[in-house]
Amino acid sequence: MLRRLQLVCVLMALLPLLGCQVISASITSPSDWVSGTGESISGSLSGLLGSSGSGGAGTAQRSYQRDIRAYAAYFANTGGSSQDFLRGLGAVAAEHGVTHWESRPDTHRAIGEGLRDGGVSPAELDALTARATEADPAVLALVREGYAAAR
């Protein structure tokens, strides 16, 4: 009871301050912001050596695959044209420093996983791949592989 009363008093006193972190203020002040960017990039570069840090190549790759998968699932739910899908995919890949995403097999597998997450049925996947007459069969196989492997 005493603790609750104490909390109410504190809340009343601090209500104007209770907002969560505001972007472009405090911790995200310009110098902190760019320092955080440097820390992140340094961590990723250090991670390439496999010595420490969170930014190792494996971590970066998993993060890329997860975001591609998440995007495919999101798109499967929201819909749009195939051109919209490819544009969005390009933007998500670019966030990870990848522009030539077609050359990476993990992109196509992650798309397959995401389609399954997004509720695309096997019959719908068959229909989608049947319509993609100009697509590389190896790419379609990777999408199917990802779809089948998704849990």
Q: Which of residues 13-42 bind other proteins (CB under 8 A)?
A: 13-15, 17-42
Q: By CB under 8 A, name the one of 5, 97, 123, 130 that touches other proteins.
A: 97
* Residue with Cβ nearer other proteins (63 or 123): 63
Half-sphere exposure of residue 70: CA atoms within 13 angstroms, side-chain side: 8
Could you give the angle at which helices 30-48 and 57-78 cross, rounded to 10 degrees? Answer: 110
* Number of amino acids touching other proteins (CB under 8 A): 78
149 is an interface residue for other proteins by CB under 8 A: no
* Residue with Cβ nearer other proteins (9 or 127): 9
Report which residue type is found at 123.
A
133 is an interface residue for other proteins by CB under 8 A: no
* Residue with Cβ nearer other proteins (4 or 123): 4
Please give the Cα distance from 23 to 65 (Å, whole number): 27
Site string for other proteins, 61-90 (x = CB under 8 A): x-xx-xx-xxx-xx---x----x--xxx-x
Q: Which residues contact 84 (CB under 8 A, 6 or more apart)?
A: 75
Quick one: residue 24, left, alpha or beta (phi over 0 = left, psi -120 to 50 = alpha)?
left
Residue 117 contacts residue 72 (beta carbons within 8 Å) = yes
* Residue with Cβ nearer other proteins (27 or 127): 27
List the interface residues with other proteins, window 105-124 (CB under 8 A): 117
